[in-house]
Amino acid sequence: MASMSLRFAFVLFWISILASTVLSDLVISKIDRRIDLTSQIVRVVSSLKVENRGHDTASEVLLAFPDIQAKNLAYLQSSHHEGKGKGKQSAVSLPVTLVQPEGMPSDLTFYSISLPKGLEKGKSFTLDVLAVFTHSLKPFPEEITQADVQLVVYQDSAYYISPYEVRFQTLAVRLPSGRVESYTKYPSTKLVESDIKYGPFENLPPFSYIPITVHFESSYPFAVVQELEREIEISHWGNIQVTEHYSLVHGGAPLKGGFSRIEFQSRPPIRGESSIRHFIAMLPPRAHSVYYRDEIGNISTSHLWSDSKMTYLQIEPRYPMFGGWRTSFTIGYGLPLRDFLYEADGKRFLNITFGCPFNEIVIDHLIVKVVLPEGSKEISAAVPFVTKQSQEVKYSHLDIVGRPVIVLEKTIVVPEHNIHFQVYYKFNNLALLMEPFLLISGFLFLFIACIVYMHTDASISKFSASYLAKQQLDEVRATVQQVLSIINRVLAVHNKLETSLRDLSRTGDVQSCKAARKAADGSFKDLAKELKPLLGYLQSSPQASQIWPKVEELLSKEKELQEKLMAKHSAIVDGFEKKSARREVENRVASIDQKLAILRQEADELLDTLDDF
Amino acid sequence: MGAIKADPSSKAPIASSPYSFFPFLKALRLKTKQQELLLRASALCLIYVLAFAIRLFSVLRYESMIHEFDPYFNYRTTLFLTRNGALEFWNWFDSESWYPLGRIIGGTLFPGLMVTAAAIYKTLHFLRFAVHIREVCVLTAPFFASNTAIVAYFFGKEVWDSGAGLVAAALIAICPGYISRSVAGSYDNEGVAIFALLLTFYLFVKAVNTGSLAWALASAFGYFYMVSAWGGYVFIINLLPLYALVLLVTGRYSMRLYVAYNCMYVLGMLLAMQIRFVGFQHVQSGEHMAAMGVFFLMQVFYFLDWVKYLLNDPKQFHAFLRITLTCAISVGALALGVGTASGYISPWTGRFYSLLDPTYAKDHIPIIASVSEHQPTAWSSFMFDFHILLFLFPAGLYFCFKRLSDATIFLVMYGLTSMYFAGVMVRLILVATPAVCLISAIAISATIKNLTSLLRTKSKALQSSVSKGAASLKASAKASFDQALPFQKNGAIALLFGAFYLLSRYAIHCTWVTSEAYSSPSIVLAARGAHGGRVIFDDYREAYFWLRQNTPQDAKIMSWWDYGYQITAMGNRTVIVDNNTWNNTHIATVGRAMSSYEDEAYEIMQSLDVDYVLVVFGGVTGYSSDDINKFLWMVRIGGGVFPVIKEPDYLVNGEYRVDKGAAPKMLNCLMYKLSYYRFGELTTEYGKPPGYDRARGVEIGNKDVKLEYLEEAFTTSNWIVRIYKVKPPKNRW
């Protein structure tokens, strides 16, 4: 650390030598700086009053940062308040660009703020500058034990380093607590509770500096995400799935010596104060299906609760995080699509936050991937700050050409970057049906393949004994089915005769009954004719030897049935014609009926068994 | 008259079939055969789903994760296979285990499981299902269990009838003996091996029944899959020749057997040689010699058969028989003797011996005896794993003997031998399960079939008592039989209800066992809290993940071999020994380090480049399978190689204690120190002194443990895993 502070002083020394060459018409008439050191992220808020003392109209204001600070600069924003006092809400943010003006000291990095209207001679202008730095608090001592409290050092210049003359300035350093190990004291320095105040200093030439060092206690968790990959997958079925892969390190003072569980357990508030026990993620409202896991499985130490504005997810790493310890994990959640997807000018756009849902966390390298549905076109992203953009393709369930992915990369991300960005794309709603269609057609092909397989003859040798036998068997089966259908038709004729008899008893129309008998006789003959070749085939076929007796039995049953029915028919018709006594006819018919019933049942059973052949 | 006419006509033709009322139903009407097929197919589908679903308890209770110890190795290798391809996998030299020896993974594992999972993974990805390989691995075992049920159906159908097959499928789908090794997440060789085993047996029986080369070939491929998946293939290669021998002796030799056995043996052997881990064992190892002997015997038999046919003279033939048999047997014996003496044929391995002689391992190979699943089986675990099948098994054997055929003989032999092995080792219950299920299924199916046919014929006889056709001949015979036993119908109904009750008890038992006993991943422990809530102890993963994230990439971790696979898979760090246990000396060295004093252990650890030592300690939570309880095995295994370690030094009057009365060597050995470091300051239970060990229920004897060469690096939240860092050597001056 000592070497670092030396280097810092050295840099400033060179600055002061080179400073004399700087010429400018602008003068900073008043500047108030507030450095916030309460968390691991250093925020410097300066409000400047710039005055033009030259003759020309000035269009830009230069801000200078030493390179050591500039490399940790994560975010720089400047704004101008229209009017004074009450009108402060109408802040206009001013564009800031990195510039390299000539003739300036090389150890400084310059940013230029362009003014909305040129600053005319004699006029003054007020602007606020917010600069956010990461990795600027250095732990000292560099390693601590489990029981120690973490101390950190912050270095800066008490004077505002500026290419312009500064007339009047003050500096306030805000610390997390009043416990300060040491701080650089100048005559006008005072420590009030947790604030250190420097200044006011007056009338300082450009590039003035005096180094200050603040050594203080900070137990704030120094959680640094070395790499965060956020994947935002849009499904037009109504869901946005966010998956975030973290690889996290405790950026504070590394743990010296071992970790003692008993000390950590028995005196938790004192022992292991510098450790991180949990994080709270603030997810959008109506987040659902939240999970928290890592490479080796689910992590069961998490809690979820929500209100109308936020969903809170409190996660504990598998172990308490001490300085220098690492962990990696994944959280994922689903969001309702309608909250984030909008339509404008025939294009859809996703409007979602860029950064991570954790508070006061530093991300060294952030990759945001937006996975659009398959078939999206004309993809573009609008991010309010500079990012590296590229495109790739992701294959997920049932994708054929893959889903287009737009990849946004940014180094050093702080909570100030957690603002909305947009991804525009075109998507045809019909493409939604692609995947169900794919599934349906897949099954269709499967079934068709089965049907084709069942109906094709794939045997190689068409003349082998087993193949021929199988073919014959199939033929026999078909013949038996034909026989059965004929017998069924015969039985249907039987039913017709029965109905004609019933009609006779109701109407007494003997002629029609006789006609039915004639017709039945005719059809019996036809059917018998049809049956003959089939029976001949069955008798001759060796494959039918098993089934033949059954068929024969059925035929004999049918014949018997037919005879009995004819007998019944003629008996009733005779009785009707001769007008013989009812009782006599009934007696004769009753015995026939009984036999008929039994025969019919047996024939049906035989039909069933043959049906299963 | 009209009324009279209407009566018979409505009774006779129409009442016989309900379809006449709804003619449109006639088109949809299925033949009885089709109905039966439909019923059977849907029952099989349900069984398929059931077998899969019942194994998902662990996923529902915990999460989709890999269980236990060995599955982590399998998972790690599968991951490697899917990422680096088959060639790299085949040539993989793993320097992360068995430091400093390393392990040639490609040549020392059965690749069947990994290749299967990788194939499923690739297929799913080809079909555009972007699943994670972990999910595939987790669900491989249930998937194969479902397939096993289907194979059991076909096997049962082949051996008995389709009814028995259906019952067998249902029984095996939920049998705890099988579930214990195939719940979701238990990604182990056994998961696919039982499927392969049953498939091989089924195809072989089918080949014997048909004498078809195609089935024998299929059986050889089934055997190849089995060899690639599990070391248990030795059971197949010994059971099949035994079966062939039995058929020969009982005079059931046939051309079918000849075709089936020879094709299966020759092709199966050639295929099996392609597996690097098995290599030439089929011709060089004593365990595989029986199959070869029977193969040659079969040729001799066939030759004799042929000669008999040629000679046609019994006298001459008997003389010839005597000469040939003597020659054949003496040549065989000579070849075996020369082979064994010259070392070409390796003698039986210890594992094989320990199967034949259950006490062998305890005396000679402590590393085998130390594993709990290698213990002889207790009656209670038979009851637990088989439930009613244990009683149905003998009944099924009775039915098998009653209808003896080539297939039932096979089943009987499979059942009897595997039951013996199940009695020798707990984990071989798994091998016996399919046989027990099949034989019990025969018992159930045959009994129920008899009972229902009794009921049906009786009702039919009553109904058609008027008829006198030839068809009623059987029924009338039954009817006359019925008269002899008046309560037969009621008895049958009662027995049917009894069977139904037993089977439902079985289903309930299986579900209960699966949900309570066999679905714990053993990585995550769950317990009931004081208020009835579920408490999760996730200490293992806490420690492994800490190792993964917060130790140098090349750190070497020393632990007892049980945790080796998990440390390499989850912690991604190099271990000294792991569950492969291929090098007894190396394990003994670790055992020696654990049972030595700290300074001696330090020297051993220095020589092994150990950076961290990991111990498992259950004293705070009452977790009983921790390292202190395993410690005597470490002493025994260490002492087996290094005689400086003597078991009696750690015992007091033959008793193992950790309290004040413990042996001094015990109180100061490394394992004791690492387990109880600073434990003496902790109050574990209200009303007990500090340093009260809840796993053993005693106050520890050495509360003031000082470590000189190691320092505590990490202890998990419930103290189950403790990791110590080995300090670098002190400067000499």
Minimal CA separation from B697 to chain A, in Å:
20
User: Do the Cβ atoms of B464 and B475 come closer than 8 Å?
Assistant: yes
Contact A611 B2 (CB under 8 A): no
Contacts of B460 (CB under 8 A, 6+ apart): B475
- Asked if A583 has any chain B CB less than 8 Å from its own CB, the reply is no
- Asked if A502 has any chain B CB less than 8 Å from its own CB, the reply is yes
Average pLDDT score over residue span A353-370:
91
A38, β-bridge pairs? none
Contact A602 B725 (CB under 8 A): no
Which of B32, B523, B536 lies nearest to residue A612, judging by beta carbons? Answer: B32
Residues of chain B with Cβ-Cβ distance to A319 below 8 Å are 542, 545-546, 714, 716-717
- Asked if B135 has any chain A CB less than 8 Å from its own CB, the reply is no
| Helix, strand, or coil (residue A449) | helix
Minimal CA separation from B540 to chain A, in Å:
10
Contact A495 B13 (CB under 8 A): yes
Q: What's the whole-number average pLDDT of chain A?
A: 85
- Beta pairing, strands B574-575 & B556-558: parallel
User: Do the Cβ atoms of A223 and A231 come closer than 8 Å?
Assistant: no
Residue A109: CB atoms within 10 A of its CB come to 19
Helices (H), B365-428: 366-369, 379-386, 389-402, 406-424
CA–CA gap between residue B568 and residue B563 (Å, rounded): 9
- Amino acid, single-letter form, for residue A364: D
pLDDT per position as a tens digit, A443-490: 999 999 999 998 887 777 777 777 888 888 888 888 888 888 888 888
CA–CA gap between residue B174 and residue B155 (Å, rounded): 17
Interface test with A, best of B9, B553, B611, B620 (most A CBs within 10 A): B9
Q: Whose CA is closest to A608, among A550, A522, A545, A544?
A: A550
User: Do the Cβ atoms of B485 and B23 come closer than 8 Å?
Assistant: no
Which of B127, B128, B542 lies nearest to residue A318, judging by beta carbons? Answer: B542
- Asked if A319 has any chain B CB less than 8 Å from its own CB, the reply is yes
Report the phi/psi class of residue B426: left, alpha or beta, with left for phi > 0 and alpha for psi in -120 to 50.
Answer: alpha
Nearest residue in A to B31, CA atom = A612
Contact B716 A261 (CB under 8 A): yes
pLDDT per position as a tens digit, A377-427: 899 999 988 899 999 999 988 888 889 999 999 999 999 899 999 999 999
- Asked if A447 has any chain B CB less than 8 Å from its own CB, the reply is no
Residues of chain B with Cβ-Cβ distance to A611 below 8 Å are 31-32
CA–CA gap between residue A585 and residue B136 (Å, rounded): 80
Q: Whose CA is closest to A162, among A79, A104, A119, A94?
A: A104
CA–CA gap between residue A373 and residue B143 (Å, rounded): 32
- The secondary element (H helix, E strand) that includes residue A394 is strand A388-394
Contact B713 A258 (CB under 8 A): yes
CA–CA gap between residue A327 and residue A320 (Å, rounded): 10
- pTM value is 0.86
Residues 199-238 of A with CB under 8 A from B: none
Minimal CA separation from A410 to chain B, in Å:
25
Contact A396 B11 (CB under 8 A): no
**How high is the pLDDT of residue B11?**
38
- Asked if A584 has any chain B CB less than 8 Å from its own CB, the reply is no
- Asked if B17 has any chain A CB less than 8 Å from its own CB, the reply is yes
CA–CA gap between residue B244 and residue B242 (Å, rounded): 5
Burial of A429 (0-12, 13-18, 19+ CB in 10 A): exposed
Which of B2, B13, B714 lies nearest to residue A600, judging by beta carbons? Answer: B13
**How high is the pLDDT of residue B155?**
96
| Helix, strand, or coil (residue A114) | strand
Contact A261 B546 (CB under 8 A): no
How many alpha carbons lie under 13 Å from residue A23 in its C-beta half-sphere? 3
Which of B523, B550, B719 lies nearest to residue A261, judging by beta carbons? Answer: B719
**How high is the pLDDT of residue A89?**
55
Minimal CA separation from A112 to chain B, in Å:
43
Contact A593 B12 (CB under 8 A): yes
**How high is the pLDDT of residue A301?**
86
Contact A593 B550 (CB under 8 A): no
Residues 399-438 of A with CB under 8 A from B: 399-400, 438
| Helix, strand, or coil (residue B161) | coil
Which of A397, A586, A604 lies nearest to residue B1, judging by beta carbons? Answer: A586
pLDDT per position as a tens digit, A4-36: 454 555 555 555 444 444 446 788 889 999 999
Q: At what angle do helices B32-53 and B162-174 cross, to 10 degrees?
A: 10
Q: What is chain B's percent helix, strand, coil content, to nearest 5?
A: 65, 5, 30
CA–CA gap between residue B676 and residue B683 (Å, rounded): 13
- Asked if A596 has any chain B CB less than 8 Å from its own CB, the reply is yes
B535-726 topology per CATH: Rossmann fold (3.40.50)
Residues of chain B with Cβ-Cβ distance to A586 below 8 Å are 1, 4
CA–CA gap between residue B716 and residue B546 (Å, rounded): 9
**How high is the pLDDT of residue A11?**
52
Q: Whose CA is closest to A261, among B444, B498, B164, B620?
A: B620
What the block records as the tokens of A50 is 């710039």
Which of A262, A494, A586 lies nearest to residue B681, judging by beta carbons? Answer: A262
**How high is the pLDDT of residue B593?**
94
Determine the longest span between alpha carbons in chain B, in angstroms. Answer: 131
Residues of chain B with pLDDT under 70: 1-30, 458-486, 732-733
- Asked if B129 has any chain A CB less than 8 Å from its own CB, the reply is yes
Domains of chain B, by residue range, sit at 193-346, 535-726
By mean pLDDT, which of A44-58, A325-339, B451-465, B599-613 is the weakest? B451-465
Nearest residue in A to B76, CA atom = A296
**How high is the pLDDT of residue A7?**
53
Contacts of A456 (CB under 8 A, 6+ apart): none
- Asked if B706 has any chain A CB less than 8 Å from its own CB, the reply is no
Nearest residue in A to B620, CA atom = A262
Minimal CA separation from A597 to chain B, in Å:
5
- Asked if A395 has any chain B CB less than 8 Å from its own CB, the reply is yes
Residues of chain A with Cβ-Cβ distance to B523 below 8 Å are 297
**pLDDT > 90: percent of chain A:** 27
Residues of chain B with Cβ-Cβ distance to A435 below 8 Å are none
Which of A326, A397, A495 lies nearest to residue B128, judging by beta carbons? Answer: A397
| Helix, strand, or coil (residue A32) | strand
Number of DSSP helices (H) and strands (E) in chain B, helices first? 32, 11
- Asked if B33 has any chain A CB less than 8 Å from its own CB, the reply is yes
Residue with tokens 């002194």: B689
- Asked if B681 has any chain A CB less than 8 Å from its own CB, the reply is yes
Which of B5, B12, B33 lies nearest to residue A612, judging by beta carbons? Answer: B33
Minimal CA separation from B471 to chain A, in Å:
9
- Asked if B549 has any chain A CB less than 8 Å from its own CB, the reply is yes
User: Do the Cβ atoms of B47 and B173 come closer than 8 Å?
Assistant: yes
Question: Computed from CA positions of residues B545, B550, B556, B558, in that sequence, does the dihedral angle turn out positive or negative?
Answer: negative
**How high is the pLDDT of residue A269?**
61
Minimal CA separation from A398 to chain B, in Å:
5
Dump strand ranges (E) for B503-568.
525-528, 534-537, 556-558
pLDDT band at A152 (very low <50, low <70, confident <90, very high): very high
Nearest residue in A to B680, CA atom = A262
Is residue B100 reached through a cis peptide bond, with omega within 30 degrees of 0 on the bond before it?
A: yes
**How high is the pLDDT of residue B83?**
94
CA–CA gap between residue B646 and residue B625 (Å, rounded): 23
CA–CA gap between residue B729 and residue B607 (Å, rounded): 12
Pairs of residues, one from chain A and one from chain B, whose beta carbons lie less than 8 Å apart = 126
